[in-house]
Amino acid sequence: MPKWKDLKRYCKKTGWELYKSTDHDYYRKVESDGTVKRTKVSRSSKEIPKMLWKHILKDQLQIDEEEFNRNI
């Protein structure tokens, strides 16, 4: 399972914009068709829980794990 820092690295590397930073970091990415994707990144150093990770990949990042791993 990836850690929160891996998700943050992915967002920075693939052009996601940090638009809010509180107890979590909030990123967004505007696609060429105008679709806005958003994700929230914990400041924890722990692994992302498995079920939450599946949700982040499918519903927020909208990618598969292979693409994520290529870009961290």
pLDDT tens-digit readout, 51-72: 999 999 999 999 999 999 999 9
* Residue 47 domain boundaries: 4-67
Global pTM reads 0.93
Reported as a single tens digit per residue, the pLDDT across 19-49 is: 999 999 999 999 999 999 999 999 999 999 9
Separation CA 30–CA 50 (nearest Å) = 26
Does any domain span residue 26? yes
| Structural domain count of the chain | 1
Q: What residues contact residue 21 under an 8 Å CB cut-off, 6+ apart?
A: none
Return the CATH number at 32.
Answer: 3.30.920
Tokens of 66: 């292979």
Does any domain span residue 25? yes
Does any domain span residue 56? yes
Separation CA 49–CA 17 (nearest Å) = 24
Q: For the chain, how far is it from start to end, CA to CA, in angstroms?
A: 13
Sequence letter at residue 59: D
Does any domain span residue 72? no
